[in-house]
Amino acid sequence: MRSIATNTIASRAEHAMNEANRRVQEATSQIATGRRINAAADDSAGMSIGSRLSTQSISMQRAMRNANDGISLLQTVDAAAGNLSNALQRMREIAIQSANGTNGDSERLALNNEFLELRDQLHATIDNARWNGQKMLDGTLSRINLQIGVTSADGQGVDMADFKALTALSAAGVGTPGDAMSSLASIDASLASVDAARVGWGAAMSRLVHAGDVSSQASLQMNTARSKIMDADYAQATADLAKAQILHMAGKAMLSQANQAPVTVLRLLR
């Protein structure tokens, strides 16, 4: 039936053209942004999942950086403790040398002067061992907590050390064989204290390395999963764009043809 009041064919052609135009816009948006989902309307469930994965990935990356910061801190304090250990070893060597009966007063005086200088250096090292403005080896900071995961249960506590007592080693020095022998016991206790702290820091650094690796790997997997959901498939998007453009042009052509249909009705009136 021919009708002037309602041109059904033209309406269908216009609807198809508008649908094709919408698909052209969607494909163009995907190609321009590189993302399959640019608005919640594109895929609300996918956007929700992608957003959560993004949040978790960002949190994992921050946890990884926290672990690396913790490693840097522990490397700093361990290096300072290594200097303490080297100084104490030299002080022990001096004490043993001073205790030997072959030394005279002048030799012991020279040894004692070096011993006292090293003891003063212990104090300077302990005072200067700082991280982010905080003293790390004088007991000011007894424990640090490192957030190496994305939950409240993923914290790691690391004990710091109080080495102030090391600076009180044998006030008498090693000026006499008796003082030298007395200093040996203090030095040995100090070395044991430093070594115990360094062992704990070494174990903590090992855990932090593994924690950083776990966070890095988890972040990589989450980014991969998010990419599959959120990122555009360029091969598919370009194919969809070409198809939609062809359909849009065909729709325009068919709409033009459909709009000519009422003309045939006028011929009936002649």
Joined together, the tokens standing for residue 144 give 């640090």
Same structural domain for residues 187 and 243? no
Residue 21 in this model has a pLDDT that exceeds 70: yes
Residues 179 and 236 in one domain: no
The range of the structural domain enclosing residue 249 comes to 8-34+232-268
What are the distances in angstroms from CA 267 to CA 6, 201, 257, 260?
Answer: 18, 98, 17, 12
Does residue 48 lie within any of the structural domains? Answer: no
Enumerate the H helices of 34-172 as residue ranges: 44-99, 105-128
Query: CB atoms < 10 A from the CB of 224, how many?
Result: 11
- Asked whether residue 122 falls in the same domain as residue 240, the answer is no
Nearest of 11, 3, 10, 156 to residue 74 by alpha carbon: 156
The rounded distance, in Å, linking the Cα atoms of 34 and 227 is 10
Residue 98: CB atoms within 10 A of its CB come to 25
Q: Residue 63 domain-assigned?
A: no
Half-sphere exposure of 243 (CA within 13 A, CB side): 10
Alpha-carbon distances, residue 60 vs 55, 98, 118, 150, 216 (angstroms): 9, 56, 45, 6, 7
CATH of the domain at 194: 1.20.1330.10
Angle between helices 44-99 and 177-230 (to 10 degrees): 170
Check the CA dihedral 112-117-123-129 and report its sign: negative
Q: Do 133 and 105 share a structural domain?
A: yes
Q: What is the pLDDT of residues 143-176, one digit of tens each?
A: 899 988 888 888 888 999 888 877 666 566 888 8
Within a domain: 30: yes
Is 1 a residue whose pLDDT tops 60? no
pLDDT in tens, 209-264: 998 888 888 888 888 888 888 877 778 878 877 887 787 777 777 767 666 666 66
Q: What region does 39 belong to: left with phi over 0, alpha with psi -120 to 50, or beta?
A: beta
Q: Which residues of 119-147 are buried (b: 16+ CB within 10 A; e: fewer)?
A: bebbeebbeebbbeeeebbbeebeebebb
Residue 62, domain member (yes or no):
no
pTM check: above 0.75: no
Lookup result for tokens 């361990």: 78
Q: Say how many domains are in the chain.
A: 2
Please say whether the dihedral angle defined by the alpha carbons of residues 70, 207, 211 and 148, taken in this order, is positive or negative.
Answer: negative
Where does 100-146 have alpha helices with state H? 105-128
Interval 26-61: pLDDT, tens: 778 778 777 788 777 777 888 888 888 888 888 888
Per-residue model confidence as pLDDT tens digits over 90-107: 999 999 999 888 888 888
CA nearest to 140, candidates 151, 148, 150, 128: 128
